[in-house]
Amino acid sequence: MPRKTVLHGVHKALGAKMGAFAGYDMPLFYELGVKKEHEWVRSHAGLFDVSHMGQIMIRGEDKDGNSAVEFFETITPSSFETLDIDHTKYTVLTNENGGIIDDLMVTRTGVNAFHCVINAGCKEKDIEWIKAQISEDSDLEFAYFEDWALIALQGPKAEIVMREALGMDLSDLPYMALWAHEDYQMFVSRLGYTGEDGFEISVPNEVARELWERLLAHEEVEPVGLAARDSLRLEMGYCLYGHDIDETTSPVEAGLAWVIGKENTEFIGADTVLDHMHHGVARRRVGIKLLDKGVAREGAPILDGQGLDIGNLTSGGFSPTLGVSIGQGYVPSEYSKPGTNVYVVVRDRKIAAEVVRMPFIKANTKK
């Protein structure tokens, strides 16, 4: 039986087309359809149920003085010492080979307290991995917020909607920052997976439905499914775990070297990752834009100008904003320069394309 989020019945009642994602029965699109939902998020505000994602908390300090800060600087290549409280970092969990176990958002909620949002499909694996890194005599505390929902409100009207629908003035909340309700029953982060301004709201399951309905009642808000979530993130060049990054790709190959903290040399997999950082990599994740009609999707072969096979798309699809097909994939580093001419093969047809800088369109997140 597929798993359900607490809002499953709400999606059904809205007439959503449901489909399987990471073991959950999730809304793929609603009445508007994927393209209009995508455009609605870019122009108004879209409401997403992302409660399938995992929320975990790690805090404390052990007897030897090893803190949660140090713990996160071990399981990820990032630096957390300098991260302000109530601010968030995007980072990755690395394995011993420097591959990516998952990508995640880490919010510092206290001096030695962190809240993470992890991918639905990686929850069990991540939790097992993280727990295994906590030594037995450690006093680090781990908690999994299994009964919490996560609702994303994304789009240029998100701030207005939060004010008008919930009476919350978040105009001063910076990008990648957290606002916590005083009773710790609601956490609002100004971030998302769409490139638009917006918020992710974490609440206990019991109040998720009321929150969803209050936000949805606002005239600027439409529900948006996972299909548009995918095309929105693709336009931003964001990675989808299991497709664009996985345990065989290093953060440097994936173009995520920016998550590596300068002072952090002790994290798991550092040997490989820092070697990639200092000596370069043989392949890189790049953005690819089709120059002709057609839609290239995951798996499509990438050829160089001479027709030599150089890789495959790890994700791809139609960009409603650009009106052409875009994708990402790994190519040998010598082909990774923006402007490099390539071909993408769709059903035996070679479609002219070029390597482009990501994001494909300008981000519209809070300055």
Partner 1 sequence: MAEFRYTKDHECIYVEGDVAYVGISEHAQDALGDLVYIELPEVGKRVEKGGDVAVVESVKTAAEVYAPVDGEIVAVNEEMADELEFVSAPVNENGWIVKIKVADPSALNELMDEAEYAEYLKEVD
Interface with partner 1 (CB under 8 A) = 17, 28-29, 33-36, 38, 227-228, 231, 293-295, 297, 317-318, 320, 325, 347, 349
Q: Which amino acid is at 309?
A: D
| Pick 100 or 296: Cβ nearer partner 1 | 296
In angstroms, what is the minimal distance from the CB of 255 to partner 1?
Answer: 24
Angle at the Cα of 234 from the Cα atoms of 303 and 311, rounded to 5 degrees: 20
In angstroms, what is the minimal distance from the CB of 152 to partner 1?
Answer: 19
| Pick 80 or 318: Cβ nearer partner 1 | 318
- What lies within 8 Å, CB to CB, of 178 at 6+ separation is 86, 87, 88, 107, 109, 187, 188, 189, 190
Nearest to 279 by CA among 307, 303, 258, 252: 252
3-state DSSP: the chain helix, strand, coil percent, rounded to 5? 25, 35, 40
Calpha distance 25→8 (Å, rounded): 8
Which conformational region is residue 242 in: left (phi greater than 0), alpha (psi within -120 to 50 degrees), or beta? Answer: left
| Pick 153 or 228: Cβ nearer partner 1 | 228
| Pick 34 or 355: Cβ nearer partner 1 | 34
In angstroms, what is the minimal distance from the CB of 356 to partner 1?
Answer: 19
| Pick 65 or 323: Cβ nearer partner 1 | 323
In angstroms, what is the minimal distance from the CB of 154 to partner 1?
Answer: 17
Angle at the Cα of 203 from the Cα atoms of 199 and 207, rounded to 5 degrees: 120
In angstroms, what is the minimal distance from the CB of 292 to partner 1?
Answer: 11
